Structure 1
Amino acid sequence: MHELQFLIIAVIVLALLFDFINGFHDTANAIATSVSTRALRPRTAIIMAAFLNFIGAMYSTGVAKTIGGDIVKSANHIDEHIIVAALIGAIVWNLFTWWIAMPSSSSHALVGGIIGAVLVSTGAIGLNFWGIGKIVLSLILSPVIAIIFGFIVMNIFFLLFGKYRPSSLNNKFKRLQIITAATMAFSHGSNDAQKSMGIITLALLSGGYIDVFEVPYYVKILAATAMACGTAIGGWKIIKTVGGKIFKLQPVTGFAADLNSSIVIFSATLLSLPVSTTHVVSGSIMGVGSAKRVGAVRWGTAQQMLMAWVLTIPCTAIVGALVYYLMCFVFGL
């Protein structure tokens, strides 16, 4: 088999593996709140999330174009070796954070892996700093926006429903939470699955298999299927962290958090901006919890998540760079 063909296949396999891991790593984003409040049974929630992740992934390709076109200056500054190294860096980080049950951003991991591998391969000249700045800004601002709007949404709920008995209110919102869990799953798929679509399309473009950066339909199907399959497995460790270790959720607060997260994530998708769904959901829960009582939020867990948030891009950049160095040594690049 020709080396280029082998590398393209390697990129596709690794990108789909990344998507699969992203699916079970980030399952918590879509269903943690509804499972923790017992609005949905875990298995039912996962099946619903898997289906709607698939549908969401087929929605658009704007985020894929941002990931594939805004990190490097052009296809001339990236090749399949770089993409393989970047994907391995992101996958290693995702598996590590899943193993220690720490919610982290697959988006950060992928961006960091690409940056590290490109820096080693072509140097800073190959990076599109304007595009990277836009991506990093969206990754940083989205959880902050989620916290602020989560706080506002929950306070509006207090004003609207404060006179109702908590037990009666929670019973009503337990049913409504099924709807927001569904919208959350769709939003998650609409943003997260596109990242691997962008990577595969970038590899096809750099390898000369396509002439312009347009995501082929079969790439959309593959990425959507991989994420749906990963979601179907479910990342129970992170579900427990997101669903219960940040703030003790009830149906009304879970509904507010999911509603807020869905709006933030889907708005980013419409703007073709990649965001960390993990951090948006976590930010929404923090905002909702703070509205009830600042002390009700377990800020120790939040600090650990913030640490993972800060470390993800530099750590995956280092891993991506090291993998590329290793590939250079092994294959004589």
Structure 2
Amino acid sequence: MMKKLPVLFFLISSFFFSQRTEEDLKNVLFDIDFSAAGPGEIEKIDSLIKVCKKDSYNDCVALGYLKIANIYDKMNDTKKSFYYINKVEKENLINSDTDFEVIFYLHMQKSFLYRKLGERVASFKQLDEIYDEVMTTGNAYFIYLINRQYADKYVDTSKELSLKYSKTAYKFSKIYRENKDKRYRIDKNRLCNSYKTSAYLGGAYINVNKLNSAKIYIDEAIQNEKKADDIGLKYITSLYAGSYFRAVKNVEQAQHYLWIAKNIAKNYYKSENYQIAVGDELNALYKSIGQKDSIGYYSKWLVDIEAVNREQNQTLNDTVDWQSELENNDRKKQKDSSLSRQ
């Protein structure tokens, strides 16, 4: 009976969506909750992709693949995440008519994947290739998302630059939410993502040891988190609130928020980056108060997470390196061909 459900959903979807435009179908796709998504949501998206394929809605198909890839990444299945990212280009869904939204999300997803695999240069190259174009679109949603990623890009090398990009992300996330002239579609997923910038900016101020400024944005983040019932927003808010309270030596509050983040990561966000972020914070908290048993527990937890992901990602790294080499060769051929015609 369970095996028949995806087929039944597809038949029902085909009936109800047969008269919908591509924009309508993309909106249905964006409305599928990401934070708590799992295999059931992947089946729904896959069925929606079939409907889009039937009507040759390539942008919708590509965005469907990328959303599935994002869910698999959250579930810590990097191999399947890469598989769906790769399908976008393998099925020739990118061409001169492709909407920039698809190209934007493709670069973002590839950047996430490369960074997770430790390919930092390849990761940031994906962002660099589209940054200038994103900034000229005037699209506040795209602008705040890519600046948010640039903040991460510099967090280990230049905390001041990381703060600068965090401020830009925060500014444009507010412009998106204000939505003057009704330019943007405000759905739950994108709205909750935009609220996260308060916590991220608070974290950037913590990193430069400006704790008074950090408090302003952490307090704002805690208030924003109450405005939407979203697991992802709660995780980010709790993680950075815990980090702030650890920095000001409020152990009780730090522990309270970090345990919330830990439970969310354990149940909803299996991906290495979510697990390690909260594990690092808890480990640092217990080191600061000398709780040896807890230090040992979280140190081992972090080692185990890294070991599992190192084994999982080794084979995939070879595939990604091969894919990157192909892309570089294609770019070189296109450049040589262009020069020969001049």
TM-score (norm 2): 0.28
User: Larger RCO: Structure 1 or Structure 2 (Cα < 8 Å, ≥ 6 residues apart)?
Assistant: 1
Larger Rg: 2
TM-score (norm 1): 0.28
